[in-house]
Structure 1
């Protein structure tokens, strides 16, 4: 496909939005020419508008000349009620987990076929962690991702199963093995990984349910090993997740009054 599905309108705003819309999960880094082609915007116009987007912080130019989405768009995205409300409500429970374990703690949601990290508290242990607030990682290679994938619609699971890239030598990339893991996640109520995303790092995660039993997020933590403390960590996460669920339900009931 040579461009996006829609052609931008005649206004400057529509062309600038089309250039931003050129980015998607499969196109995270684009040259100016690629952005112009995918947005169906003339290259000279794209050059001028990208300069303005760069100055404003909507995009960032990497040393190799490619462009990526800028931090300012992420900052604005955090103001969206769905993310802001969830982060604020979950924050006390993340701090409780962190205080009890001193591990790196995550709050994440599913964004298409990726994990979007909404919040993170960095642990004291020297465990390599690649996630950042606002970053996206593969569903199949992370603890929070496996939780979210296990409860995702069938269409999302089918798409994710076509994208099982190997991140480390321990990443599960066999569809049959991953499918069995997801069944255990739904049965046991948690997911665990062993160095699938980063060597030297293990993770464990649990779902956060809405009052209607829909999974709205995942809570997870990253530790050096799960050999001895896995059940203790799972229990701490599940207690926190139930607290988030109760708080979400109370907020929703209050909003209906």
Structure 2
């Protein structure tokens, strides 16, 4: 039988972490997996880059990311979310005063995955088609979800705090800059981005939570950049209302 040591170690690490209710120190992982500490760090870095692990630097420990549970129940959960949200997206897009594209996105580690989309006539062409994954810190849908997480959870998703990826130029480059964007999103009740994904396009979004308060999805609108801040705020209030309606549906209200 073909031996693939790295793959076996990765699978064993996933199983080990799944059996623990708290993050596991790197020293414990190396000992239980029977690998050198240097090899453990290389393996953990690769798994973090792929979104399967999160790092808790203060504890020098690792834990499973939300991506793992999403893979286990992803198809069923996504279909349920899409069915619940699609009518809300249709009404949201139809009521918008400007041509918009409505999105439903879920947080997958430090990225968002778009799972539904509704376009108005003459709406802009966007990169955020169903199935596309984008950096959460650059998108309105991602920022809305991140703003609903605890500060420690956000930091665990971004181990490289001073080198955040930028797509076209704008956007936060450090975790401190991201913190400020998330603070503004919490204060308003909705997140925004302008030109961080595509120049000339802007987005607003708000997160919906499950019974435990976890942001399971974000509802967003993308449109050509508007010079009127009040018009953007109106769209932001609309996505916040739709996200609240989805939260109520998820809670069975």
- With the length of structure 2 as denominator, give the TM-score of the two structures: 0.66
Matched residue, 2:164: 164
In structure 2, what is the Cα distance between the partners aligned to 1:79 and 1:139?
18
Describe the SS at the equivalent of 1:3. Answer: helix
In structure 1, what is the Cα distance between the partners aligned to 2:200 and 2:74?
34
Which of 233, 247, 250 is the aligned partner of 1:245?
247
Matched residue, 1:220: 220
Which of 80, 87, 91 is the aligned partner of 1:92?
87
Which structure 2 residues correspond to residues 59-70 of structure 1 after superposition, within 5 A?
Answer: none
Matched residue, 1:189: 189
CA displacement at 1:166 relative to structure 2: 1.5
Q: Answer yes or no: is the 8 Å Cα contact 1:172–1:196 preserved in 2.
A: no
Deviations 1:190-246 (A, max 9, x none): 111110011111111111123443322111011112432112111221221122122
Question: Please, which runs of 5 or more residues in structure 2 have no aligned partner?
Answer: 12-45, 52-70
CA displacement at 1:187 relative to structure 2: 2.1
Matched residue, 1:112: 109
Q: Answer yes or no: is the 8 Å Cα contact 1:127–1:200 preserved in 2.
A: no
Describe the SS at the equivalent of 1:192. Answer: strand
Matched residue, 2:6: 3
Q: Answer yes or no: is the 8 Å Cα contact 1:114–1:136 preserved in 2.
A: yes
Q: Answer yes or no: is the 8 Å Cα contact 1:168–1:198 preserved in 2.
A: yes
- With the length of structure 1 as denominator, give the TM-score of the two structures: 0.65
Matched residue, 1:54: none
Q: Answer yes or no: is the 8 Å Cα contact 1:140–1:160 preserved in 2.
A: no
CA displacement at 1:5 relative to structure 2: 4.9
In structure 2, what is the Cα distance between the partners aligned to 1:208 and 1:134?
19
Matched residue, 2:24: none
Matched residue, 2:15: none
Summarize the Cα distance change of 1:157–1:123 in structure 2 as closer, same or farther, 3 Å threshold: farther
Aligned length: 190
Q: Say yes or no: does 1:179 pair with 2:179.
A: yes
Question: Please, which runs of 5 or more residues in structure 1 have no aligned partner?
Answer: 9-22, 29-75, 252-257
Describe the SS at the equivalent of 2:131. Answer: coil
In structure 1, what is the Cα distance between the partners aligned to 2:203 and 2:242?
16
Which structure 2 residues correspond to residues 132-171 of structure 1 after superposition, within 5 A?
Answer: 132-153=129-150, 154-160=152-158, 162=160, 164-171=164-171
